[in-house]
Structure 1
């Protein structure tokens, strides 16, 4: 690479799709943002081909779609059967991915190995899969070719908190009891050893890295926002406190805990809830609202296109999200980007993003303790709209400064440049403080 030239990057993003959400949207958003700061060729799975073309990318120039369906499709179908429910059994899905993904990378090397070996790329970066359980056969091959290999962002596998075994079973997460066995899988150590830099999306993932590898790790949460998708100014209006929830209606997201916590305020007319999302709990949640006498104070919006979510959130004073097991917490960032302060459970991804001055946290604990904490917090926040608005504006400014995809691309470029120059890897974020950022966080009820 000559000084002053844009870096040539081969970005491997097996899951990358601008029309989907979750991991595929992260894969697409980061890979596409990197095109603004480097000469990037994206390698993805063929299922994403049409969406890439609709987004204006040129096949063979901007991206290559790898046809791995001969193995991926039957394994995916098997995974869907084993999961026994849409959106459930995440650990089972990762096991299926562990069987099919090496074949994808084999085909990637078959298509690009000669160019990598010939020095046609300055960096090879595997963006997805995000799971740290999946090894990368290409890492060692890049090392032998003398081309730096960047891995990540990696995230996932947050332990289920104590007291939620019932929710764990309802999510079909039986394999999660054995998840730590992935550390002994063939290829994991080699992948980490041959990576020049490892992007970790959470403190938990960093903690799972072998001690010898942590010097090459960079803490960089995987989520960010597209300002074009989340551009509305907050406009909650007057009247009762309006709180929004966005997510799949599944046990670990806690929508039933939110309804139970909010019930006294909903009955009193001092709170309204907007629930965006769909899932297997929809019928139970409607029945719960009916039984508690709060149906008239809850709007069940159902599933909405991602681009339309901001229309609901921007009209809320607060984003109330009692999820107990979020790896990254992208939806929390989206609320903050709209100037809507989050109220979350202080655990995993959301707990790292929400710090003093830009949101509110309830300590992780048993179900009843979380419900009590949310109930107290909602009652307290309903009385201080000025503080809510100020917290929302602080959160919005923080996201705009640190968590747009353009900013994320600049951060990753800093990692590339450090790897190529031999400079120390950059540090982007302060370590989260252990102190809580709400007066009820240690069990104190505000008076």
Structure 2
């Protein structure tokens, strides 16, 4: 079967959605499908094809003409899809894709609706207001158009299913939850009791990640507790300024984007992984920490909330005081943290492997949904 996977993310991946797309594509190819990935390329560039982890990827040029950049890019993406086709299935990964015309069956994976995402912003700035307005006026109609067109909608977490059914014109029976996964061979478990004071965050330095709260929490902890921030994003300069204002300059290290082997080393050096987000759906960085055996605490968002009791995750309230208290408690009991890490690893082994998820997806592709409930 010929399958086109379309994403607004760049490849090789620098964020979770891009990693999701590659892991899905590789496993569908291993099952005998002809998979072509269409991913965002350079601004005002040319169509470029390459193999990324043995997956054929076609980079479509985009037009960064905000706030109409998605619609301005649509003819270029439509032309590329038409030239590569015909396809049996078009698998679109939302958010932030313009609706495309196709005779293929359409499956949509939603990694989170922009309406819920942007409403969770706690950052206050003109940029945050502009992004919320764009989500309401531009992104929401695009999402509804894809949901109307889709034969099936896949949500990466139960909370996303609730968003889709509660906020859009979508019948509940049209939405299926397929959680994100972890490649357990890429993230090998290491069991050890960690007795240091080193915190780690891996992810985008962007909106609704709770990173200002994390810095505020760090300022409430003893001076020997340090923080490594691994990732890049639009708020890095603001976060650096905030850290300096709090007197944390020597306790916070900004590492930028790191390749996979260096991310593993960062986990091996860390004593506690912290996810302080205001809004998450199925964050791969959290699942990867669980797979690696890094003790962790997280706010109760997305999969963290859904897995919390079973995986023995420590869930912290979204305040600097509660986050600082949870961090201090975990650091003071490394044996208990290591025991929880073992349970977290077993949870991902049982439930959250990519092969399991892609097997379910392949079943959906093989059997069209005849009538939504």
From 74, 80, 90, the equivalent of 1:125 is: 90
Task: Output the CA distance in 2 between the equivalents of 1:280 and 1:46.
Answer: 18
Shift in alpha-carbon separation, 1:344–1:107, aligned structure 2, 3 A: same
Q: Give CA-to-partner distance per residue, 1:158-216, whole Å, 9 cap, x none.
A: 2445782xx14264441413634458848945x43443211122444423344553212
**Ranges in structure 1 where 5+ consecutive residues have no aligned partner:** 1-7, 58-62, 80-91, 143-147, 365-369, 426-447
Task: Output the CA distance in 2 between the equivalents of 1:327 and 1:64.
Answer: 26
Task: Output the CA distance in 1 between the equivalents of 2:119 and 2:148.
Answer: 31
Alpha carbons 2:113, 2:164 under 8 Å: kept: no
1:373 positional shift? 0.9
From 16, 29, 33, the equivalent of 1:35 is: 29
Partner of 2:186: 229
Secondary structure at the counterpart of residue 109 of structure 2: strand
Partner of 1:192: 147
Task: Output the CA distance in 1 between the equivalents of 2:207 and 2:14.
Answer: 20
Secondary structure at the counterpart of residue 325 of structure 1: coil
Shift in alpha-carbon separation, 1:361–1:134, aligned structure 2, 3 A: farther
Task: Output the CA distance in 1 between the equivalents of 2:364 and 2:222.
Answer: 48
Alpha carbons 1:234, 1:314 under 8 Å: kept: no
Partner of 1:218: 176
Larger Rg: 1
Partner of 1:431: none
> If each structure's strand is expressed as a fraction of its own residues, which one has the higher value?
2
Q: What is the Cα-based RMSD across aligned positions, in Å?
A: 3.6
Secondary structure at the counterpart of residue 419 of structure 1: coil
Q: Give CA-to-partner distance per residue, 1:312-353, whole Å, 9 cap, x none.
A: 113323211212233432211121111124322223454445
Partner of 1:408: 357
Task: Output the CA distance in 1 between the equivalents of 2:252 and 2:140.
Answer: 47
Task: Output the CA distance in 2 between the equivalents of 1:403 and 1:287.
Answer: 37
Shift in alpha-carbon separation, 1:39–1:357, aligned structure 2, 3 A: closer
Task: Output the CA distance in 2 between the equivalents of 1:313 and 1:410.
Answer: 29
Residue 83 of structure 2 corresponds to residue 97 of structure 1: no
The total of aligned residue pairs comes to 364
Partner of 1:21: 14
From 263, 275, 280, the equivalent of 1:321 is: 275
From 4, 14, 19, the equivalent of 1:11 is: 4
1:424 positional shift? 9.8
From 357, 368, 371, the equivalent of 1:419 is: 368
Per the normalisation by structure 2, the TM-score is 0.80
Task: Output the CA distance in 2 between the equivalents of 1:178 and 1:12.
Answer: 25
1:41-440 map, 5 Å: 41-45=35-39, 47=41, 52-53=50-51, 55-57=53-55, 63=56, 65=58, 69=61, 72=62, 75-76=63-64, 78-79=65-66, 92=67, 95-101=68-74, 103-113=76-86, 116=87, 121=88, 124-128=89-93, 130-131=94-95, 134-138=98-102, 141-142=103-104, 148-157=105-114, 158-160=116-118, 164=122, 167-169=123-125, 171-177=127-133, 179-181=135-137, 185=141, 188-189=144-145, 191-206=146-161, 207-209=163-165, 210=168, 212-221=170-179, 223-235=180-192, 237-238=194-195, 240-250=196-206, 252-267=208-223, 269=224, 271-279=225-233, 282=236, 285=239, 289=243, 292=246, 294-348=248-302, 350-364=304-318, 370-419=319-368
Task: Output the CA distance in 2 between the equivalents of 1:348 and 1:274.
Answer: 23
Secondary structure at the counterpart of residue 35 of structure 1: helix
Alpha carbons 2:51, 2:57 under 8 Å: kept: no
